């Protein structure tokens, strides 16, 4: 019969040392962390300039008139008031598109642009 015997030699365990950052190491780490953040901020500022509104875009001047929202007004009531002979659904749609509204919530005192096709007195 065969006997397999292994010999085990214990190795000395090295004590764990705590990682200590020197002042230079802290500065280098801060630089490595701050560099991508600052590059991202610079890119956001540079690319955000194209998103600003300019005078060139939008509706040409004179193609709309303004109406101030009174307390209790809704888009439907404004549409009926400014264009009594037109279908209120069409007027509301035109007002929403011209003012880039995302909902029907209006604030009293808010100024809304009304297309000249539906402007009061026309």
Q: Roughly how many angstroms between the first and final C-alpha of the chain, as a whole number?
A: 114
- pLDDT digit string, tens, across residues 26-70: 999 999 999 999 999 998 888 876 665 554 545 555 678 888 999
Residues of the chain with pLDDT > 70, as a percent, come to: 82
Average pLDDT of the chain, as a whole number: 82
CATH (one of 3.40.50.10680, 3.40.50.2000, 2.30.30.760, 3.10.350.10) for 64-115: 3.10.350.10
Residues of the chain with pLDDT > 90, as a percent, come to: 30
Domain range list for the chain? 64-115
pTM above 0.95, yes or no: no
d(C-alpha 96, C-alpha 102), whole Å: 8
């Amino acid at each position: 019969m065969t006997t397999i015997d292994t010999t085990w030699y214990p190795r000395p365990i090295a004590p764990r040392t705590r990682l200590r950052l020197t002042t230079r190491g802290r500065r280098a780490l801060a630089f490595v962390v701050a560099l991508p953040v600052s590059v991202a901020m610079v890119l956001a500022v540079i690319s955000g300039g194209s998103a600003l509104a300019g005078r060139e875009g939008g509706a040409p001047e004179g193609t709309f008139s303004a109406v101030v929202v009174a307390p209790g007004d809704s888009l439907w009531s404004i549409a009926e008031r400014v264009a009594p002979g037109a279908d209120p659904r069409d007027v509301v749609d035109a007002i929403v598109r011209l003012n880039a509204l995302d909902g029907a919530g209006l604030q009293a005192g808010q100024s809304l642009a009304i297309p000249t096709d539906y402007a009061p007195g026309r």
